Structure 1
């Protein structure tokens, strides 16, 4: 098997992935939909290349998260939903407070079901913390969720804001709890309380972002964090590869990333939930008929 762009290794996962498994966090890139001041544009990161990842991992459902390079232009994500198949693909968009109701309706028709606030590094971010609550209330009316990519310290600083947001909240990349402090960081308590409230989800993704052990140490320093989330709310965990790993110059092995679930869970039933039934619930994969959307925004 040849190496796939933006992924090291060639072996399939050791984990036998169940039918209808979902990769709940990827990005697609197309220079045609890049912001004029875009940072981080990648080549060979289209739907065609991602299909090779699906074949390798055995996943069939996908959630595309609009990339930083496209800012608030969500056409690359809408096109990706079309290219990967509407019945098995959903999107998470990026908007700011200038978005119109018509644009939100187009995104909704096109398979987008949430918006992301990437404020981990606020430099050149198209959104601000002041936009979070008003936008959350607008998209809540559409039944969308809010996805947060914040630092652990930002979660602590904005605890009151997060707790008053309406609807479903999804924390990216294990809520970015730093190491070696790990579960002793106060953000872990906040996230755990939110998980216990019943409307918060965690993406078990981006292991390489905060691990100090990295791939050579099999990311084992993240085990206590991930396992604590799974123990608290196994029915609200989803897994994502984060392909094409835009933050990484040395690309991880995507098979190893999905195999982390065998350490972070205790039963095959939990893995089934994380890969199949949980994302079906969060992203509406079952019983949802999407209409044809106009992609000109």
Structure 2
């Protein structure tokens, strides 16, 4: 079963509230489980990993409910938490299909977590077999390389480790993340090509291809793919089938694509093969 390893669900039953803003600010309509099922049918994927959106802060109820709707055999989740989370809540989240916690720190604006929270939480979740998912800039990866070396759990780097277009694989972050991946400690998500592309949608984000291929060449056994649906950063929405098709440009070999879409996410998220 092929897995879309990075999506977000927004549900009016869980309106959310972004820090510093009231009500449902930042809410995305037509991005609930029913809407995603239509996308999933078009792409031909059968599994999904749901990442709690920023507007929900540390309330992960929407993600756990989406896992329930999609079915625990077909869905997993990544939560956002603070170090004061109770053991009881961690156990409940684990039972509900959560397998990691995310630290979105590429910009301080509206961040629900901090760098100081990473290590304490990593120790809390290590015994559950969870990972930390890091949406950091490449510069932040370099700055915090000592922290990364100390973490007792696996790491997942969002959106190709956000290597900047100008330097690409020559950036020091590439070597740091690659070494962690080669040691079996890290994974990289091939997702969000629009986040760093200057070529844009019209050119199918072609300027991201060399960096994506570099990851495929370096550590194909440590990669997963994600659509990043519903693409909340984008004014011009990409077609999700096209985004999946990009993987064929990045990983032309059928066996490698199968590893990225099936075997790797099964290992990382605990799906049955």
TM range (shorter): over 0.9
What's 1:234 paired with? 220
Question: 1:36 deviation in Å?
Answer: 5.9
- 3-state DSSP of counterpart to 2:102: strand
Give the distance between the partners of 1:86 and 1:69, measured in 2 at CA: 24
Matched, 1:110 2:76: no
Matched, 1:71 2:53: no
- Tell me the alpha carbon deviations over residues 241-296 of structure 1, each in whole angstroms, 9 at most, x when there is no partner: 00001111221111111111111113100010011111111111118xxxxxxxxx
The answer as to whether partners of 1:40 and 1:246 remain within 8 angstroms in 2 is: no
Q: 2:110 aligns with which of 99, 103, 124?
A: 124
What's 1:184 paired with? 170
The answer as to whether partners of 2:18 and 2:54 remain within 8 angstroms in 1 is: no
What's 2:231 paired with? 245
Question: 1:44 deviation in Å?
Answer: 1.0
Give the distance between the partners of 1:164 and 1:141, measured in 2 at CA: 15
The number of residue pairs the alignment matches comes to 268
Q: 1:54 aligns with which of 24, 31, 40?
A: 40
- Tell me the alpha carbon deviations over residues 92-122 of structure 1, each in whole angstroms, 9 at most, x when there is no partner: 0000112111111110010001000000112
Give the distance between the partners of 2:236 and 2:69, measured in 1 at CA: 27
Give the distance between the partners of 2:17 and 2:83, measured in 1 at CA: 17
Question: 1:156 deviation in Å?
Answer: 0.9
TM-score by length of 2: 0.95
What's 1:271 paired with? 257
Q: Gapped runs of 5+ residues in structure 1?
A: 1-19, 288-297
The answer as to whether partners of 1:33 and 1:75 remain within 8 angstroms in 2 is: no
Q: 1:254 aligns with which of 236, 240, 251?
A: 240
Give the distance between the partners of 2:75 and 2:110, measured in 1 at CA: 28
Bigger Cα displacement from structure 2, 99-108 vs 223-232: 223-232
Give the distance between the partners of 1:163 and 1:266, measured in 2 at CA: 32
The answer as to whether partners of 1:136 and 1:165 remain within 8 angstroms in 2 is: yes
TM-score by length of 1: 0.87
The answer as to whether partners of 2:3 and 2:265 remain within 8 angstroms in 1 is: yes
What's 1:24 paired with? 5
Q: Name which structure has the greater RCO, CA cutoff 8 Å, separation 6+.
A: 1
Question: 1:225 deviation in Å?
Answer: 1.2
- 3-state DSSP of counterpart to 1:216: helix
The answer as to whether partners of 1:94 and 1:117 remain within 8 angstroms in 2 is: yes
- 3-state DSSP of counterpart to 1:238: strand
- 3-state DSSP of counterpart to 1:143: coil
Please report the RMSD computed on the Cα atoms of aligned residues, expressed in angstroms: 1.3
- 3-state DSSP of counterpart to 2:76: strand
Q: Gapped runs of 5+ residues in structure 2?
A: none
